[in-house]
Structure formats: C-alpha cells, structure tokens
Structure 1
Amino acid sequence: MTDTPNEAQGAPNGADPKSSTPKVVWDDSAMNMSYANVVNVTSTREEVTLFFGTNQTWNARESEFKVKLHDRIIVSPFAAKRLLTLLSAVVGEYEKRYGKLDIADPREGRPGGQ
C-alpha cells in the first residue's frame, strides 16, 4: 500500500502539510435537535453548565413562569469562552442584517425577553 504525500508527512487526509491547522470534518450522523426559548447558565471553577428549556407559560403577566428543561450542556471555561466569541460574532452579524435585538424583561410587556 502506497502512502499519499499527506499521510507520509503525518498530516491528516486532505490537510495541507504546510498548514498547522487540520481540516475539521463534521459528522452529524448521530446529531439530535432540540428547540429552546429559555437558557440559563451556572458555573464552577472547572465547568460551565448551560440549561436549555421551553417556556410553558402562555400568559406573560403570571407571577410564575414554568420552564421545562430538556438539555444540559457542560463545557470547560475555555470552551465557554470560545462559545462566547462565536455567539457574539453571529449575533453581531444578525443585528447588522436585521436590526438591534431588544432583550427587555418579558414581564414589562416588551418583546424579546426570553
């Protein structure tokens, strides 16, 4: 069996042997999908935990909101910072295209508060 130039030089298949950045191949064959309109975050020194859920309360004027939590994602603080950078860029591009997002408190009767 003959090695390709990339394999012979130790680079992953399809990667440029002169580049130190490997090619990322996204495998979505086992991916699940969820919808969330509520998110909360907690953290410790070692991890950041993101909670995703769906608001089950129809009337925004109620004194109590019921949120059904369905996903918990735990990441390192480093991964959380990378996520912050990525989300900031995506939301910035969204606001350039469609206008500034208002995330006012939903109890004040203004849009966007979740």
Structure 2
Amino acid sequence: MVKKRVTAKPKPKQSQIRLNLSSASVDYVGEFSIQSTSEEVFFNFAASLFPGGAPGEIVLPVHTRLATNYKNAKRFHEVLGKVLQKYEKQYGEIDISNVQRELPVEEKENEETTARLPKIKL
C-alpha cells in the first residue's frame, strides 16, 4: 500500500483595507452621463440639470468626472449590482418606472459614445 502524502496549503494572507475619508468630499449625484472611448470609460456626475441658453438645451453641470479602464468599469458594475441585489432583498424592488431605462447613444466617428440624458420638458 502506497501512502499519499497530503500537505495543507497555507492560506494566503488577506489584506484589510481601511478607508481614510478625512480629505474626501461628498457630492450628491442626481444626474449622470457616461462617455467611452475604445480604451476608457468616463463617468460624469452632477446634482441636477439646468436649462441652457438655447431653446431646448439642457446643461449638465458636472461636479465630478471619473475615468477608468474597462476592467475596472466591469468590476464597478459587478459590485454595484451585488449592492443593489442585497438592498432589494432586504427592502424590496427599487422602482425606476418613472426613469428612462435606456439612454439613447450617439455614435461618433472616433469610436466615442456618449450616453445622452433624456429630454426634459421645461
């Protein structure tokens, strides 16, 4: 009888991440747009929309703009999805029926896409 030697693999050490929020600012996001190129995704955040100078023009006064690569954008998407699922499991489905679900996308020649905000009647 041949005995197999079994060795336990040591568990990798897990790092703990501690957030330092002492220099962070908090801005409310009520509106957003997403732009992308072939290599990056840009998240533009604003508190609200304002009428522009021209008839029918809407201005999105962006207070924060984030840029990342597609791998990080996908990780963000997955984590946000899990957060929303957990919330809805505890508190019920979030009703977004009064929000336009899919924003129209404008394709440009340089492969940039811009998620347009829904038209708002003023």
TM-score over 0.5 (shorter chain) = yes
3-state SS in 2 of match to 1:73: strand
How many aligned residue pairs are there? 90
Compute the displacement of 1:84 (Å).
Answer: 0.1
Using a 3 Å threshold, how does the CA distance of structure 1 residues 108 and 73 change in structure 2: closer, same or farther?
closer
Q: In structure 1, what is the equivalent of residue 95 of structure 2?
A: 101
Using a 3 Å threshold, how does the CA distance of structure 1 residues 47 and 87 change in structure 2: closer, same or farther?
same
In structure 2, the gaps of 5 or more residues are 1-9, 101-117
Partner deviation per Cα, 1:22-74 (whole Å, 9 max, x = no partner): 2212121221111110111111222110000122449xxx9543322111011
Could you tell me whether the CA contact under 8 Å between 2:27 and 2:47 is conserved in 1?
Answer: no
Q: TM-score, normalised by structure 1?
A: 0.62
Could you tell me whether the CA contact under 8 Å between 1:50 and 1:74 is conserved in 2?
Answer: yes
Task: Give the partner amino acid of 1:73.
Answer: L
Task: Give the partner amino acid of 1:45.
Answer: S
Q: In structure 2, what is the equivalent of residue 38 of structure 1?
A: 31
Q: Does 1:23 align with 2:16?
A: yes
Q: TM-score, normalised by structure 2?
A: 0.59
- Distance of 1:107 and 1:20 partners within structure 2: 51
Could you tell me whether the CA contact under 8 Å between 1:55 and 1:65 is conserved in 2?
Answer: no
* Correspondence 1:3-82 to 2 at 5 A: 18-57=11-50, 63-82=56-75
- Tell me the percent identity: 24
